[in-house]
């Protein structure tokens, strides 16, 4: 479904250029959930932004659903691929009602029948009709993220790009949103790319993942390998150790993986 080959993104020019993504390659099969894991500055969000068309200054080759992607995307691409962002406080227009937020993509894509579509979309993410004419500030964080998911789904895309979709939420709300994403994927056979710094969330949602550090993929592995504590790369092992909780002795052994790529 998704092919990414030698994707590189650089910000700035000449000696000051920062290579935010370096020759990143991976593929995601139809109906699969693929995780991109890394710490801040690892380039995981950059990859997602290049794939979604939010960044245009990339090099390499990307295809989605068999179609080669250029720097600019047409409407058909966005009908196929939608994205959910990290911060539900920043990604919804504060002065638009939920109705208008959900109605906009329907109008842009001239899908028609907006009224029924909006009602269905809200129903689908577990928000009833009573939320339809509310403003974002009248919703909790979890409800906002549900609206963001509804907005992405209202175009009936095949691919959902998820950029830290639950990291701004409390754990109990995170569980609800993860369950929602899992159910929708099952019902609609969607393909997910999930970007997260949280290994547990990725291990829960995905079957395969790539670990990134300083713009490069250091290792691609299956979640089974991760669970068996069998990552081959030292960076992945360290990330896994750190994610399993505080261990005074383990901290002593931490290495600095800066600029090793």
DSSP letter at 69? P
Taking CB under 8 A as the binding criterion, the range among 20-28, 61-69, 96-104, 242-250 that sits at the site for another protein is 242-250
Choose between 39 and 156: whose C-beta lies nearer to another protein: 39
Q: Is 172 in the site for another protein (CB under 8 A)?
A: yes
Site string for another protein, 194-213 (x = CB under 8 A): ---x-xxx-xxx--------
Taking CB under 8 A as the binding criterion, the range among 53-61, 77-85, 104-112, 192-200 that sits at the site for another protein is 192-200
User: Between β-strands 33-38 and 191-196, what pairing exists: parallel, antiparallel or unpaired?
Assistant: parallel
Q: Which residues contact 191 (CB under 8 A, 6 or more apart)?
A: 1, 2, 28, 29, 30, 31, 32, 33, 158, 159, 160
How far apart are CB 189 and another protein at their closest, in Å? Answer: 17
Give long-range contacts, CB 8 A cutoff, 24+ apart: 37-42.
Answer: 37/195, 37/196, 37/197, 37/199, 37/202, 37/209, 37/210, 37/211, 37/212, 37/239, 38/197, 38/211, 38/212, 38/213, 39/197, 39/213, 39/239, 40/197, 41/214, 42/212, 42/213, 42/214, 42/215
How far apart are CB 243 and another protein at their closest, in Å? Answer: 6
Choose between 40 and 68: whose C-beta lies nearer to another protein: 40
Choose between 68 and 172: whose C-beta lies nearer to another protein: 172
Choose between 59 and 179: whose C-beta lies nearer to another protein: 179
Binding site for another protein (CB under 8 A): 39-40, 141, 170-172, 174-176, 178-179, 182, 197, 199-201, 203-205, 226-227, 238-240, 242-248, 250-252, 254
């Amino acid at each position: 479904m998704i092919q990414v080959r030698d994707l590189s993104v650089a910000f700035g020019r000449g000696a000051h250029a920062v290579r935010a993504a370096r020759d990143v390659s991976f593929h995601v099969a139809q109906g699969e959930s693929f995780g991109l894991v890394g710490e801040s500055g690892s380039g995981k969000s950059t990859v997602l932004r290049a794939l979604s068309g939010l960044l245009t200054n990339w090099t390499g080759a990307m295809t989605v659903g068999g179609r080669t992607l250029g720097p600019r995307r047409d409407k058909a691409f966005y009908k196929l691929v939608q994205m959910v962002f990290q911060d539900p406080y920043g990604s919804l227009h504060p002065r638009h009602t939920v109705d208008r937020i959900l109605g906009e993509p329907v109008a842009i894509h001239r899908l028609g029948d907006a009224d029924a579509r909006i009602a269905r979309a809200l129903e689908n993410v577990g928000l009833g009709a009573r939320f339809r004419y509310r403003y974002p500030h009248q919703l909790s964080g979890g409800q906002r993220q549900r609206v963001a998911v509804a907005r992405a789904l209202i175009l009936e895309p095949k691919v959902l790009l998820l950029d830290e979709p639950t990291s701004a939420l409390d754990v109990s709300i995170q569980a609800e949103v993860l369950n929602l994403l899992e159910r929708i994927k099952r019902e609609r056979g969607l393909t997910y790319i999930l970007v997260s710094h949280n290994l547990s969330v990725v291990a829960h949602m995905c079957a395969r993942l790539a670990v990134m550090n300083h713009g490069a993929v250091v290792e691609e592995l299956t979640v089974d390998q991760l669970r068996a504590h069998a990552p081959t790369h030292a960076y992945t092992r360290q990330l896994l150790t750190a994610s399993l909780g505080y261990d005074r002795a383990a901290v002593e052994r931490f290495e600095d993986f800066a600029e090793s790529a």
